[in-house]
Chains A and B, each alone.
Chain A
Amino acid sequence: MSGSEIFLQQLIIGLSNGMIVALIALGYTMVYGIIELINFAHGDLFMLGSFAALTVVGLLGLDQLTAGAPGMWGGLFVMLLVVPLFCGGLNWLADRFAYRHLRESTKLAPLVSAIGLSFVFMNIGLLWGGVPMNVFGLGHSAASPKDFPALVSNVNLLGQSAVEFTEKDLMVFVVTLPLMVLLTWFVKGTRSGKAMRAVAQDRLAARLMGIPVDRVIGQTFLIGGALAGVASVVSSVYNNTIYFQMGYRAGMDAFTAAVLGGIGSLPGAVLGGLVIGLARALCDQYLETRWTNVLVFTVLILVLVFRPQGLLGARAKEKV
C-alpha cells in the first residue's frame, strides 16, 4: 500500500473506533452535564454491555451461524434492543442506589461511590466470564478475554481497492449516525430534552418550575447508559473480543474525548471521540503502539492545562 493509502486506511479505522468512543463519551458528558459527576462506572457499564451482547449471542445460537446469514441481522437487531435496555436500566439503578442520596453531599462522596461501583461492575464482568455457556468458554478461565463471533464480515465494500472500508465499518456508521441525530432531536426538540437541559443549567430553578428533577436525572442516566449499550454492541462486533478489564481503557478514552470536546457539550463529545479515535489510529501506525496510551493521556493533560473548557465548551464561573 502506498503512503497515502495507508493514511486513508488509518483514517477509516480511526473514525470507526472514534464513533464508538464518541457514543461512550456522550453518556459521560450527559451525566456530567446534569449533575457534575464523572460516572467512573460508565466504562465498566460499557464492558458489561459487551458481556450481555455475548450472552445474547449464546442464547440465540448466533455463534453457530456463518457470517452473512440472514439470522445475523436479526440477531444484531435483538442485541441492539436488549443490550441498551440492559445498560440503560443498570445505569438508572446506579443513580437510584449509589448516587441519588449523595446529591447534596461533599464533592468527594459521589466520586468515591462511583469508583466503588466501577469495581463492583468489574467483578461482575469477571464472574460473568465464568458462566458455563459455550460462548464464555464453558466456565474455564473466567478472567481471560472472550472471542466475539464475526457477525458482520470483513468484506471490503470498495471492491479490490487497497484501502478497505468493510461491512463492519459500514455497520458502525449505520448504527451510530442516526442515533446521534435522534439524540440531538431528543435533547433539542422534546420536552424531556428541554427538562434535561434546564436541570443541567440550574437545578433549583428547574425544581421551582415544577420539573421532577430526580426523575429527569434518572432519565439522563438511562439514556447515557443506553448509548453505552449501543457502543458495546458495535464495539464487540467490530473488534471481536471482550475482556472484563476493557471498561477501564474505554472509560479513559471516552473521558478524554468528553473533556477534549468540552464536558457537558454533546457535539463536543462526538468531536472529541473522533479526535481520540484518529489519534489512536495514527499513533499506532506512525509512532509505536506501546506509547499510544501515553499519547492519549498527554492530550488530556494538555487540554486541561491550556483549554479546560474543551474545544466546544464554555467557561464556567463559580457563583459566590
Chain B
Amino acid sequence: MNILEISDLTVRFGGLTAVNSVSLDIPAKEIVSVIGPNGAGKTTLFNAITGIYDPTNGRICFNGEEARRPFRWTTALTLALVGLIAGLSLVLIVNVEPLWDTAITSNYTYQQTFLWSNAVSAASNYFGELPIQRFVVPFLIGGLVGLAGALAIWHRTRRAPEVAARAGIARTFQNIRLFNQMTALDNVLLGMDSQLRTSVWHAALRLPLYWRERDEAVQRAMDILRFVDLDRDANQLAENLSYGHQRRLEIARALAMQPRLLLLDEPAAGMNPAEAQELMKLIHDIRDRGITVLLIEHHMQVVMGISDHIAVLDHGEKIAEGNPEAVRSNPKVIEAYLGKES
C-alpha cells in the first residue's frame, strides 16, 4: 500500500523547471531515499509534497487524497455566507446615515422612553421605499466582491503547508529552521500544537483543561526528547545546542506532530561516521514506530545503509530507481553523480 503517490509532478518557476514529470510511489513503513547532484530538484520535490510550492502539473496523493483543503459543501456554504454578509454590510454602510435618522433620531425625544417597535417599523419602511440603486446595487457589488475575495483567499491557501502538516506529513529542513530563541522543550511542544485543544479561553482564564493538557504535553514532549536522546537539553535554548543536537531536535519537533510520513532533508549533513551511525539507528527506530521515512541525503554510507528503496534525480528528472544494489550499479547514476563514498 502506497502512502504517497507522486504522479507526473512538474514544478516550474518562471523559466526554470525545477522538477520535470517525476513519478514516484512511496510504500508505507519503508525508508526511501532521494538522491542526486545539487540542484537536481530534491528539495523542490519536498517543498511540493509539504505544500510550500504548488505543482505546475501532476498530482501528489497522500493516503489516496491530495493534501489540500477539499471543497466541501460546508466550504461553499461559508463562502456564500461571507458574500451575504459582505453584501449586507455594504448596503448598511451606504445607507447608514439616513437609516439612523429615520429609525433612531426621529423616533427619539430626549430622555423619553424609546419605542424599539417604532424603530424597527421605521427601518423596514425605509428599506421598503428604497430605490433600487441604494439597495440592490450595493448588495450585489458587496456580495460578489466578498464572495470572490473569500474564494481567492481560500484558493490561495488550499495547499498551505499547515494542511499537509495536519494531514500527517512532517519534515525537517536543509538549513536548520528551529525556533532558536525557544527552548528545546518549547520547540517540541510547538510541533504538538495541532493536536492540542487548549483554546484562547482556556489559556487566558487558566481553566482546568489548560493545566491538564500542559502536563500531558510536557510529558509527551519529554518522551520524544528521550527518544532522540536530548532530554538533558530540554531547557536549553535551541540555538545554544551543538549542530548535531540541533539536527536531532528538528527531528524531535517533527515527530511531535505524530506524522505518518516524515521527510528528512539532509539529516546527516556535517556528521562524522559515528554520528551517522547513530542517525541510522534513529531512523530505523522511527520506521519501527510505523512512520514512513522519505530522505534526501548525500551521505552515501547512510543512504546505502538504511534505504529500502532509492530514487535518483538529476536536473529535475528521475533517472533511476530501485533497491540500493540496483541503483549503485546503474551506469546512468554513476555517470550523473555517484562516486563520493563518505
Q: Which residues of A contact B (CB under 8 A)?
A: 302, 305-306, 314, 317-318, 320
Q: Which residues of A contact B53 (CB under 8 A)?
A: 317
| Contact present for B52 and A320 (CB under 8 Å) | yes
Q: How far is the CA of A317 from the CA of B18 in the complex (A)?
A: 13
Q: Which residues of B contact A306 (CB under 8 A)?
A: 148-149, 152
Q: Which residues of A contact B153 (CB under 8 A)?
A: 305
Main secondary structure, interface of A, reads loop
**Contacts A305-B152, A305-B153, A306-B149 given; does A317 touch B13 at CB 8 Å:** yes
Q: How far is the CA of A275 from the CA of B174 in the complex (A)?
A: 44
A-facing residues in B1-53 (Cβ within 8 Å): 13-14, 43, 47, 52-53
Given contact pairs A302-B145, A317-B13, a sample of 12 additional A-B residue pairs in the complex whose CB atoms are under 8 Å apart:
A302-B149, A305-B152, A305-B153, A306-B148, A306-B149, A306-B152, A314-B14, A317-B53, A320-B47, A320-B52, A320-B173, A320-B174
Q: Which residues of B contact A302 (CB under 8 A)?
A: 145, 149
Q: Give, as a whole number of angstroms, the nearest-CB distance from A24 to chain B.
A: 28
Q: How far is the CA of A305 from the CA of B14 in the complex (A)?
A: 22
Q: How far is the CA of A306 from the CA of B150 in the complex (A)?
A: 10
Interface string of B300-324 (1 = CB under 8 A from A): 0000000000000000000000000
Q: Which residues of A contact B173 (CB under 8 A)?
A: 320
Q: Give, as a whole number of angstroms, the nearest-CB distance from A109 to chain B.
A: 16
Residue of A whose beta carbon sits closest to that of B150: A305
Q: How far is the CA of A317 from the CA of B52 in the complex (A)?
A: 9
Q: Which residues of A contact B149 (CB under 8 A)?
A: 302, 305-306
Q: How far is the CA of A318 from the CA of B47 in the complex (A)?
A: 11
Q: Which residues of B contact A (CB under 8 A)?
A: 13-14, 43, 47, 52-53, 145, 148-149, 152-153, 173-174
Q: Give, as a whole number of angstroms, the nearest-CB distance from A224 to chain B.
A: 26
A-B contact pairs, 17 of them (CB 8 A): A302-B145, A302-B149, A305-B149, A305-B152, A305-B153, A306-B148, A306-B149, A306-B152, A314-B14, A317-B13, A317-B53, A318-B52, A320-B43, A320-B47, A320-B52, A320-B173, A320-B174
Q: Which residues of B contact A305 (CB under 8 A)?
A: 149, 152-153
Residue of B whose beta carbon sits closest to that of A317: B13
Q: Which of A314, A317, A318, A320 is the most central at the interface, judged by chain B CB atoms within 10 Å of its CB? A: A320
User: What 10 pairs across the A-B complex have the smallest Cβ distances?
Assistant: A305-B149, A320-B47, A306-B152, A320-B52, A305-B152, A317-B13, A305-B153, A306-B149, A320-B43, A317-B53
Q: How far is the CA of A320 from the CA of B176 in the complex (A)?
A: 11
Q: How far is the CA of A320 from the CA of B149 in the complex (A)?
A: 28
Q: Which residues of A contact B13 (CB under 8 A)?
A: 317
Q: How far is the CA of A302 from the CA of B146 in the complex (A)?
A: 10
Q: How far is the CA of A302 from the CA of B144 in the complex (A)?
A: 12
Q: How far is the CA of A302 from the CA of B52 in the complex (A)?
A: 25
Q: Give, as a whole number of angstroms, the nearest-CB distance from B85 to chain A.
A: 16
Q: How far is the CA of A317 from the CA of B153 in the complex (A)?
A: 17
Q: How far is the CA of A318 from the CA of B173 in the complex (A)?
A: 14
Q: Give, as a whole number of angstroms, the nearest-CB distance from A124 to chain B.
A: 38
Residue of A whose beta carbon sits closest to that of B148: A306
Q: Which residues of A contact B47 (CB under 8 A)?
A: 320
Residue of B whose beta carbon sits closest to that of A302: B145
Q: How far is the CA of A55 from the CA of B269 in the complex (A)?
A: 63
Residue of A whose beta carbon sits closest to that of B46: A320
Q: How far is the CA of A83 from the CA of B52 in the complex (A)?
A: 47
Q: Which residues of B contact A318 (CB under 8 A)?
A: 52
